[in-house]
Amino acid sequence: MSTITTAYPNKFKFPAGLFIIFIGLIILFAATYGHGMIKHANDYDLIHKCLDEKGPLQTWENSLTGKKVNVICAEVFNPETNEYEKRWGVQFLNKVNREITSFIKDPSRYKTIEDISRYLETSGFSISP
């Protein structure tokens, strides 16, 4: 076995407890803000703004998993066309109504509420009364 020595002693020792606290904070951040906030940050903000101002347009539920989906419709300014365009967003919730993720659906494929309805129906959801 060989050892490596340096001309200058290393006086800095990184405490293991600090590392564990750092990892714990990362996990807490991920659990608190969830996948939607981390991966779809701009969509997350837009969807939550719509939900806060108007509430969901529709709510869907999967009776097998207990998951729910809130559907929103947002008006987004497109600087290329200089017009406002509709964007359909979805917020997925688990069975205790905690957000799993939220994102805006692809505007080239999802142009109407019927497109969103088909997407949710094929995913096993039905509209809530």
Task: Give me the residue spans of the domains in the chain.
Answer: 35-127
DSSP for 55-122? --SEEEE-TTT--EEEEEEEEEEETTTTEEEEEEEEEEE-TTS-EEEEEEPPTTT--SHHHHHHHHHH
Ranges of residues in the chain with a pLDDT under 70 are: 1-16, 27-41
- Could you tell me the two tokens for 3? 């050892």
Rg (CA), the chain: 23
- Which of 78, 67, 62, 69 lies closest to 113, judged by CA? 69
Looking at residue 36, what is its pLDDT? 47
Residue 92 contacts residue 102 (beta carbons within 8 Å): yes
Give the per-residue pLDDT at 8: 61
